[in-house]
Amino acid sequence: MKKALLLLLPFAGLLWVPLYNHSNPVLFGFPFFYWYQFAWVPVTSVLIWAAWKTERQS
């Protein structure tokens, strides 16, 4: 069950568009809308790995 919650975080964080539908703050010239989505790529990878590790241990 804990692993399912880990996998729901990126889903909820990217599905709720009003959370990141603005341009400020800008990071390295990229509006918030773009770098917020891109930041989820490594975060999601780590969460998938953590869910996989908890599944293997149980």
Q: Please report the pLDDT score of residue 1 as a whole number.
A: 60
Taking Cα atoms as reference points, which of 4, 10, 19, 16 lies closest to residue 43? 10
**Model confidence at 48: pLDDT above 70:** yes
Cβ-contact 25, 32 below 8 angstroms: yes
Residue with the bigger pLDDT between 4 and 41: it is 41
Please name the residue that has the structure tokens 């889903």.
11
Residue-wise pLDDT tens digits, 16-35:
989 889 999 999 999 999 99
Q: Please report the pLDDT score of residue 38 as a whole number.
A: 94
Where are the domains positioned within the chain? 2-57
Angle separating helix axes 2-15 and 32-57, nearest 10 degrees = 170
pTM for this prediction: 0.79
User: What are residue 27's DSSP bridge partners?
Assistant: 30
Cβ-contact 6, 43 below 8 angstroms: no
